[in-house]
Structure 1
Amino acid sequence: MRVRALVLVVALGLAGGLSGCGIDDLRSERRHGGPMRMTMVSSEATYLAEMIPHHEEAVRAAEELARSPRATMREFGEDIVRTQTAQIVQMREWLRQWYPDQAEDTTYRPMMRDLTRLEGDALDRTFLQDMVGHHMMAVMMSQHLLRDGTTHPEVEDLAQEISDEQRREIRQMSRWLAAWFGLRTSGMHGGMQPQ
């Protein structure tokens, strides 16, 4: 059973644990024209089915960084593509093996803006702003699953890896936003703010 709701108490508690990342960064509806969907996974199978399209969106966005003027961003994009593509392959295999009746989520709504027409600083800034919120969602989904428990230790390990890895990347992206664009995540009150 899928449970989808914007649960402020849960979001505030989890976002608060991200050390300096704001809840407003999760509220992509202001940038994307619709309400953000807060997924609270109800099972290991649902987590896998919903994390696959979430990762696929991140991979597509990260591939756009091949056009970045910054070598650091190009390398960052390559790392995301490599890591999350391997995780997608693994999650698909687990779904096929353990949950053959569980289809991948086909109702996934993108969280990130279209980057295909952006260049230079606009590309890097938009990617970082959107990917912070995108990563925060993956951390929340993973933490929810870890809290409720998994059936297979392999999925528990993956959820912990996604949570840890993407928290580190959120901190790094926040540093780049501050250093390159004078933007900072401002806790629960303002999303991205000029410094």
Structure 2
Amino acid sequence: MDQHFIVMMIPHHDGAIAMADLALSRATRPEIKELARSIKNSQTSENAQMRAWYRQWFGQPVPNWNQGTRLGRTGGAGGGMGMGQMGGGTDLTALSTAPDFDRAFIEQMIPHHQMGVRMATMAQANSQHQELRLLQQAMVKAQSQEIEQMRQWYRSWYGSP
């Protein structure tokens, strides 16, 4: 389970990092830029930690997402990231050209984070490594808080949930 989780979560995080990179250059609201910085920093750090654990626990580097199984999922990749499947509808191309970037970012990041929360929540029950369970718990907490913050902004800025 730990091996599978890491192989799936790293590219999922890569999708959020790519979205955050776009937000750092395209967002107009400082709140979105600050959230993007936080997502980029935390998920880059989490990816590095998971890569180190994978090498330590399984004796090899994390396989490239394109070499791994896609679990029968299909969907648009968006920017060649291979993330459409795991991102809850993430489409980097549409996001990069969205007329209201901040709104599109929230509309894509909430379901992306929801998928990450589901992945980490399900994996905790069967994780063999305590340190990975703790990281999964931290992911659930941080991303759940970010989802709630984005929902509040969305209601405040656009008037609907």
Which TM-score tier does this pair reach, normalised by the shorter chain? 0.7 to 0.9
Task: Give me the whole-angstrom Cα distance separating, in 2, the residues matched to 1:88 and 1:58.
Answer: 12
Larger relative contact order (Cα-Cα within 8 Å, sequence gap ≥ 6): 1
Task: Give me the whole-angstrom Cα distance separating, in 1, the residues matched to 2:41 and 2:106.
Answer: 18
SS in 2 for 1:151: coil
What amino acid maps onto 2:139 in structure 1?
I
Aligned residues: 139
Residue 91, structure 1, aligned to residue 42, structure 2: no
- CA drift of 1:104 comes to 4.2
Distance 1:143 1:88, change over 3 A: same
Task: Give me the whole-angstrom Cα distance separating, in 2, the residues matched to 1:87 and 1:104.
Answer: 17
What amino acid maps onto 1:170 in structure 2?
I
Task: Give me the whole-angstrom Cα distance separating, in 2, the residues matched to 1:59 and 1:169.
Answer: 14
> Could you tell me which residue of structure 2 aligns to residue 50 of structure 1?
8
1:173 counterpart (121, 131, 150)? 150
Unaligned runs of 5+ in 1: 1-42, 185-195
Is the 1:52–1:104 Cα contact (8 Å) retained in structure 2? no
Residue 163, structure 1, aligned to residue 122, structure 2: no
Q: Residues 5-31 of structure 1: CA distance to partner in whole angstroms, max 9, x if unpaired?
A: xxxxxxxxxxxxxxxxxxxxxxxxxxx
Residue 126, structure 1, aligned to residue 94, structure 2: no
- CA drift of 1:109 comes to 3.7
> Could you tell me which residue of structure 1 aligns to residue 77 of structure 2?
none
Deviation >6 Å, runs of 4+ = none
Query: Structure 1 or 2: larger strand share?
Result: 1
TM-score by length of 1: 0.67
Query: Structure 1 or 2: larger helix share?
Result: 2
SS in 2 for 1:98: helix
Matched ranges for 1:57-68 at <5 A: 57-66=15-24, 67-68=26-27
Distance 1:79 1:164, change over 3 A: same
What amino acid maps onto 2:109 in structure 1?
M
What amino acid maps onto 1:123 in structure 2?
F
Task: Give me the whole-angstrom Cα distance separating, in 2, the residues matched to 1:77 and 1:89.
Answer: 18
The percentage of counterpart residues that share the same residue type is 30
